Structure 1
Amino acid sequence: MTSVLYSVRLQLDENLEQMQQGTMMRKVKSKNWKKPRYFMLQDDCMTVWYKSKMSGKAKSAFSVSDVETVREGHQSEVLQSLAEEFPAECCFTVVFHGRRNNLDLIASSAEEAQCWIQGLRRLVEIVTNMDQKEKMDQWICDWFMKADKDKDGRMNFKEVQHLLRMMNVAMNEDHAFRLFQMADKSETGTLEGEEFVLFYKALTQRDEVLELFQEYSEDGKKLTLLEFVDFLQQEQMEGAGIDELAMEMIDRYEPSETAKARHILSIDGFLVYLCSPDGSIFNPEHRTVFQDMSQPLCHYFISSSHNTYLMEDQLRGQSSVEGYIRALKRGCRCLEVDCWDGPNGEPIVYHGHTFTSKIPFREVVTTLDKYAFRASKYPIILSLENHCSIEQQDIMAQQLKGILGEQLLTTTIDGRVPVQLPSPEELKGKIILKGKKIGHLEDYLNGHLDEPPEREEEEEEEEGPEAEEEVLRNEDKKKEKKAKQSLSQELSDCIVYCKSVPFHSFQHSRSHYKSYEMSSFAESKARKLIREAGNDFIRHNAWQLTRIFPSGLRTDSSNYNPQAMWNVGCQLVALNFQTAGTEMDLCDGLFSKNGRCGYVLKPSFMKDPETAFSPENPQSRENGSPLNIAIKIISGQQLPKMPNSKEGSIIDPLVRVEIHGIPADSAKQETKYIDDNGFNPQWNEAFQFQVRVPELALLRFVVEDYDKASRNDFVGQYTLPLTSVKAGYRHIHLLSKDGTGIPPASLFVHIRIRELSTESD
């Protein structure tokens, strides 16, 4: 079977040849755990095996497609701890997609290290640049190699039967044998090379796609340009410039040069189009920054993480700068740093009063300097949980300014007192500190750093709201005085647009606070405020930032449902990024739009401080009609088997469609399950949803393996904003629990969206 990377093997450079011969390197897990392993690139140029020196048995393997990047030198905590023992030029780190642990390696020489660094980078680049057809070809090749037990480059029928079980399909033996004989053109009783491709194509024939193709094709064999235009217009709801779009699609996806020249789309080209990003459910225009980025910060939902330094739970988990790197790569724009006094006069970061490991504050800032603006150029808010002495706070301020330089915002962008928060566009490339501040920004800008004199005597309590306000004012003064005694002036001076202030009430905030001051709420407090004063919360968030964080009782680093917080316009809804699950799927889904830049513009009815909107009352949304969403789940393709599933077992898949939004819109419906077929299950089930506030709704597709005796197993999911959904016949490319792709697993669906008149709602 020919691999997609066969062309690479034909031109094997010295690096790949040496990698295939194998290299002994040290695999490192800690300062005391560093063991020799024999690493070898397999003939497919896609898999790396490594073996124990002791037993010589194959211990583990990883696929090149699982590798995100390769970092040179001491770029992990473990390798940094061994810096004196092993030179940087011999060390490198293999970084994997998702939450899989990195692989730290030490080669015997700089030359051997470079061989693997350059070789892996070349292979990763090839895999990254594969188009849809190449990815599918590679996937077929991988399965062939797994099933070819005797490694003779051929497959007999027994091996084919085994392959079908591996590929998650139960098939009638007679039917499978007929397909096998049809593909065996050489009549040798085995399949090789192109014969296996023929067999695979017969196996994966998409009848539902063929029917759709023939519905628009006059002769059933091709789509003319006009026929394809009809399909794009009537089914895919494509608008302006449709003729040019159709020509472009044919040129991009039709494999036959002859057909291309005649502006014709074959069934193969049609299928490639449907499986491509242009045939995806996600609007390709939303893959780039398309929203207005010149509005105040408080008008955006901002991707935010909690306990960013943690890799696991918050009692005994590992703290690592890798947590910051991963969050930043996912477009996160608000990071949390818990700072405590450390040894040698240097502050450290960890989850206080727990057994989590500790990292130097300096390393966090250095990591921020390196990775802050790789995934997004828009501003980062660094939420400081400051538990340090004044002396170590001074060190924090010095390290922040010394390492980040001009990236750190230390004064307003125009030197004036702000009347509203600046925009993401104005703050591009800037890191903003969130924390307590001595005095007011006005005093700092005007050069008056001394506090106004405190009134020592306390007012007598009086009845009524005015007396309550006076008590609150006195409380604020006391807290301000206490803060001055415990805060470093140098660190305080670095707080500009995100001064932390205590929350008393929405009325108190509006009367006493400025736009650059903000409050934080635990999830339970936020939920209480949503229940009691949802509209007030939305109005508050129209002019001031709000941060929500998980309950301290979540020792397993689980997450709360962020949707309720977004429904009232909370911008900084902080989640534990290290914990996979529905909550992080929703977060990834919301921030998948606007180029994954970490900022999503709130709907217009959430940006007015006098808005009447409340999530409990959909009719309060001015302008805009409810939507009817009709979704047909047609089929699934190459759904993955469950890890640790029994030998020969095959999944029984079902699909659940979920709407997450305001309470009245939240709904879910699911298909029946299909017995023993994860390969090409057919559902053909239709659902209807009414969505009253589509601007806040997320659409989530979940595939599960049905189990009548216990809880269903998760197979894959895909979540996106309803406003990013493309109508028509669409493929949904499923994601794993970690939010990474699992090609070529997909769902094929049909979607129709139409407005409903409010009277009929």
Structure 2
Amino acid sequence: MASLMQGRLPISEDLLLMQKGTLMRKVRSKSWKKLRYFRLQDDGMTVWHARQAGSTAKPTFSISDVESVREGQESELLRSLAEELPLEQGFTIVFHGRRSNLDLVANSAEEAKIWMQGLQLLVDFVTGMDQQERLDQWLSDWFQRGDKNQDGRMSFHEVQRLLHLMNVKMDQEYAFQLFQAADTSESGTLEGEEFVEFYKALTKRTEVQELFENFSADGQKLTLLEFVDFLQEEQKEGERASDLALELIDRYEPSDSGKLRHVLSMDGFLNYLCSKDGDIFNPTCLPVYQDMTQPLNHYYINSSHNTYLVGDQLYGHSSVEGYIRALKRGCRCVEVDIWDGPNGEPIVYHGHTLTSRIPFKDVVATVAQYAFQTSDYPVILSLENHCSWEQQQVMAYHLTEILGEQLLSTTLDGLLPTQLPSPEELRRKILVKGKKLRTLEEDLEEEEEEEELECELETEQEADTELEAHLESVSQELSPRSKDKKKEKKSKPILCPSLSALVVYLKSVSFHSFTHSREHYRFYETSSFSEAKARSLIKEAGNEFVQHNAWQLSRVYPSGLRTDSSNYNPQELWNAGCQMVAMNVQTAGLEMDICDGFFRQNGGCGYVLKPDFLRDAQSSFHPERPISPFKAQTLLIQIISGQQLPKEDTSKERSIVDPLVRVEIFGVRPDKSRQETSYVENNGFNPYWGQTLSFQVLVPQLALLRFVVEDYNRKSRNDFIGQYTVPWSCMQQGYRHVHLLSKDGISLHPASIFVHISIREGPEGDES
């Protein structure tokens, strides 16, 4: 089986050395450092480890789990051990999702380089895999697990055990028939290609075959016209169906003769249905497709709360890793809690708790490095400043020096704006959100006066100290801050002017009431709300909140009682137009599924344009009581079948899942609902439901769908299997696959559910 992948693997000296194995030090903490023998398996796709060469090995990770590989000096943990373990011999393996990094230290810099280069080569290879190659890799992984004695072949007994692991309960006689049919060499075992044939027989999709035959005159192929009919009638592709059919045949038909004749075989049809084009998530919503030239307050902004924490709020670990993960997953607003630290250096941690601490300058350096790796659109640093005057000056210095040109320290054109700039205008800029001593008008006025005085100096070309003193006094007389400066000599204000000056478009102000904000605040002033305060405002004055958010930015943050770093549902805050709904992104669950699913659209750039009725300062929309002119829609979802559903707990070798599918709608309160199918007993491999669920949605522009697959349990809570969340506006109609994700949002490929989606205008039963 390994040969399937080996035939396609890149050839590299590094990989050959990794396959021989290397003794390295695995580092978990300052006190936990143990020698382990790591070896890249022959398939080139998995790394196993053992206590020493020759002892029993077990899987450590699959290459598809790896997001990136970093050098030793980029690891917080390895840097803290630099005196003991040479940094050039260390490296970090970073995994997708929330899995902890793996820090390793080799015996030499050369060995470390071999593993770093080799792993990166394999990660790049996996990233570039097509659908078939990904399936081959998945099969190769299973073959490795099923081949108990690692002899490259599988007996029927090993196949039976593997079927259990793969969630298949099958009649033993039927399984043996398939086994014998696949064993073309008649050796009594299955080798690589034979196992693939066995798998194909096992995964025959009768429901797809029937669909194919419904549109195919001869049951063997879909002609171009037949495929166009399918795309128009079922997939609702409209006028573009003819051009699209040619494109899809060229992309997914495996045979060259089929491509030439413009026909689609059953294999090509299945390839299309399982592809991005056949996905429930509309591929046109995947790149940046929205207007990015509107003011910042017209967008939802992917926001993180207590970004430095990778655990709970009381004892959790503070780490720059929190910022790296948040920024790489598309967060555009990150929070920094800053307190006075030792040696005059500010530190970041959750104040008055036992969470660990990190230097502020390390956080700023991390933001500078990772801010624009995922998205070019602006990053907002939301500062919670608890520092003394002196350490605020240090903060301002670090922000200015480390961020350099990335930092926005004055308005874009030096002039007073009449509205917030757009994400497009602020590309690759980092904005500071925080308290400010004065208004933007006063800042710009002073800058202008200072420029005029500098011009006078240049013209006269005199560096005479008396003249300098005179000009300074003139400057103070002209400046509206002159009176403040006299006071400053007596008592320093709480906020340091150099830090205050770095806050431009995002001045933090206290919220008193919507009327007070309208009468006293400017469009560049922003208020923060606790989740409880925001919820009560939505109930008491939902329409006013919508109007407020049409001209000013709002940030909502989780309750201080959420010491476990749990989350609220962001949807109800988005319904009122709140832009920065901050989440504890380190905590997986329903709420983060909604957040991730929503921000998956628009290129994952971290900005999503609000619907027009939430951008209108005179909007009549009330999130709690939505009324016309919103056009209700009816959604019919047929849950057809499931494919290769995993077990959450693979240690339960004997149990096979009893899967059910739940569909949940999130949106305005009247739209919130959930329905589920019955469960299928003992089949996680190819369960069939064939059940239709129906939903009525009043405000589709604000709705999201979440699919959840669970393992039914009579005696206790159902076990989670997988989920997928999609915004209503990004959903494709017709026969679609929903490719499932884990709790951490990682692909569970090839696990999916096959559905049919139909959307009708108007409420159920309304045919008008």
**Do the structures match in fold with TM over 0.5?**
yes
SS in 2 for 1:277: coil
Is 1:696 aligned to 2:695, yes or no? no
Q: 1:128-527 counterparts in 2 under 5 A?
A: 128-447=127-446, 450=480, 485-527=493-535
* 1:308–1:576 Cα contact (<8 Å) kept: yes
Residue identity opposite 1:69 in structure 2: S
Q: Aligned-pair distance for 1:518?
A: 0.6
Residue identity opposite 2:259 in structure 1: K
Alpha-carbon distance in structure 2 between the residues aligned to 1:184 and 1:7? 22
Alpha-carbon distance in structure 2 between the residues aligned to 1:656 and 1:679? 18
Alpha-carbon distance in structure 2 between the residues aligned to 1:731 and 1:63? 25
* 1:4–1:134 Cα contact (<8 Å) kept: no
Greater Cα offset, 35-44 or 483-492: 483-492
What's the CA shift string for 1:333-352, capped at 9, x where partnerless? 00000000000100000001
Q: Aligned-pair distance for 1:48?
A: 0.9
What's the CA shift string for 1:270-297, capped at 9, x where partnerless? 1011000010000101110010001011
* 2:280–2:733 Cα contact (<8 Å) kept: yes
Q: Aligned-pair distance for 1:548?
A: 0.2
Q: Aligned-pair distance for 1:421?
A: 0.8
Alpha-carbon distance in structure 2 between the residues aligned to 1:200 and 1:325? 40
Q: Aligned-pair distance for 1:138?
A: 1.6
Residue identity opposite 1:704 in structure 2: E
What residue number does 2:607 align with?
599
Within the candidate set 744, 749, 755, 1:738 is matched to 744
What residue number does 1:729 align with?
735
Q: Aligned-pair distance for 1:656?
A: 0.3
Within the candidate set 677, 686, 694, 2:683 is matched to 677
Q: Aligned-pair distance for 1:59?
A: 5.8
| Identity between Structure 1 and Structure 2 (%) | 64
Alpha-carbon distance in structure 2 between the residues aligned to 1:5 and 1:107? 27
* 2:410–2:502 Cα contact (<8 Å) kept: yes
What residue number does 1:564 align with?
572
Alpha-carbon distance in structure 2 between the residues aligned to 1:150 and 1:355? 49
Is 1:538 aligned to 2:546, yes or no? yes
SS in 2 for 1:5: helix
Alpha-carbon distance in structure 2 between the residues aligned to 1:276 and 1:483? 66
Q: Aligned-pair distance for 1:84?
A: 3.6
What residue number does 1:654 align with?
660
Q: Which runs of 4+ in 1 moved over 4 A?
A: 53-57, 448-454, 480-484, 757-761
Alpha-carbon distance in structure 2 between the residues aligned to 1:5 and 1:227? 36
* 2:634–2:763 Cα contact (<8 Å) kept: no
Q: Aligned-pair distance for 1:2?
A: 4.2
What's the CA shift string for 1:46-100, capped at 9, x where partnerless? 1111222499443651111110110123111111112344443322110000000
Q: Aligned-pair distance for 1:151?
A: 2.6
Alpha-carbon distance in structure 2 between the residues aligned to 1:21 and 1:3? 17
What residue number does 2:470 align with?
none
* 2:5–2:140 Cα contact (<8 Å) kept: no
What's the CA shift string for 1:575-615, capped at 9, x where partnerless? 10000000000100110110100000000001111110011
SS in 2 for 1:668: strand
Is 1:6 aligned to 2:6, yes or no? yes
Alpha-carbon distance in structure 1 between the residues aligned to 2:258 and 2:16? 40
Q: Aligned-pair distance for 1:653?
A: 0.6
Q: Aligned-pair distance for 1:452?
A: 9.4
Q: Aligned-pair distance for 1:264?
A: 1.1
Judged with a 3 Å threshold, the aligned counterparts in structure 2 of structure 1 residues 57 and 48 are, in CA distance, closer, same or farther, namely same
What's the CA shift string for 1:89-135, capped at 9, x where partnerless? 32211000000000111112121111001110111111111111111
What's the CA shift string for 1:248-306, capped at 9, x where partnerless? 11111111112111111110111011000010000101110010001011000000000
* 1:97–1:740 Cα contact (<8 Å) kept: yes
The number of equivalent residue pairs is 733
Residue identity opposite 1:133 in structure 2: Q
What residue number does 1:474 align with?
none
* 1:305–1:334 Cα contact (<8 Å) kept: yes
Judged with a 3 Å threshold, the aligned counterparts in structure 2 of structure 1 residues 483 and 514 are, in CA distance, closer, same or farther, namely farther
Greater Cα offset, 439-448 or 316-325: 439-448
SS in 1 for 2:36: strand
Alpha-carbon distance in structure 2 between the residues aligned to 1:450 and 1:339? 30
Judged with a 3 Å threshold, the aligned counterparts in structure 2 of structure 1 residues 199 and 412 are, in CA distance, closer, same or farther, namely same
Give the alignment's TM-score, normalised by structure 2.
0.93
SS in 2 for 1:708: coil
SS in 2 for 1:528: helix
Residue identity opposite 1:610 in structure 2: Q
SS in 2 for 1:273: helix
SS in 2 for 1:279: coil
What's the CA shift string for 1:479-514, capped at 9, x where partnerless? x99997210110000001110101010011011100
Is 1:708 aligned to 2:707, yes or no? no
* 2:208–2:270 Cα contact (<8 Å) kept: yes
Alpha-carbon distance in structure 2 between the residues aligned to 1:685 and 1:156? 38
Q: Aligned-pair distance for 1:175?
A: 1.5
Greater Cα offset, 11-20 or 681-690: 11-20
Greater Cα offset, 25-34 or 313-322: 25-34
What residue number does 2:589 align with?
581
Alpha-carbon distance in structure 1 between the residues aligned to 2:304 and 2:479? 33
What residue number does 1:62 align with?
61
What's the CA shift string for 1:347-371, capped at 9, x where partnerless? 0000011111110001000001100
SS in 2 for 1:411: coil
Q: Aligned-pair distance for 1:217?
A: 0.4
Alpha-carbon distance in structure 2 between the residues aligned to 1:386 and 1:482? 23
Q: Aligned-pair distance for 1:676?
A: 0.7
Alpha-carbon distance in structure 1 between the residues aligned to 2:521 and 2:88? 53
Judged with a 3 Å threshold, the aligned counterparts in structure 2 of structure 1 residues 330 and 483 are, in CA distance, closer, same or farther, namely farther
Give the alignment's TM-score, normalised by structure 1.
0.94
Alpha-carbon distance in structure 1 between the residues aligned to 2:522 and 2:179? 74
Residue identity opposite 2:210 in structure 1: E
What residue number does 1:457 align with?
none
Alpha-carbon distance in structure 2 between the residues aligned to 1:354 and 1:607? 40
Alpha-carbon distance in structure 1 between the residues aligned to 2:378 and 2:2? 47
Judged with a 3 Å threshold, the aligned counterparts in structure 2 of structure 1 residues 530 and 193 are, in CA distance, closer, same or farther, namely same
What residue number does 1:76 align with?
75
Greater Cα offset, 136-145 or 274-283: 136-145
The root-mean-square deviation of aligned C-alpha atoms, in Å, is 2.0
What's the CA shift string for 1:160-183, capped at 9, x where partnerless? 211111110111112112222222
* 2:45–2:137 Cα contact (<8 Å) kept: no
Q: Aligned-pair distance for 1:30?
A: 2.3
Judged with a 3 Å threshold, the aligned counterparts in structure 2 of structure 1 residues 166 and 54 are, in CA distance, closer, same or farther, namely closer
Is 1:747 aligned to 2:753, yes or no? yes
Greater Cα offset, 83-92 or 54-63: 54-63
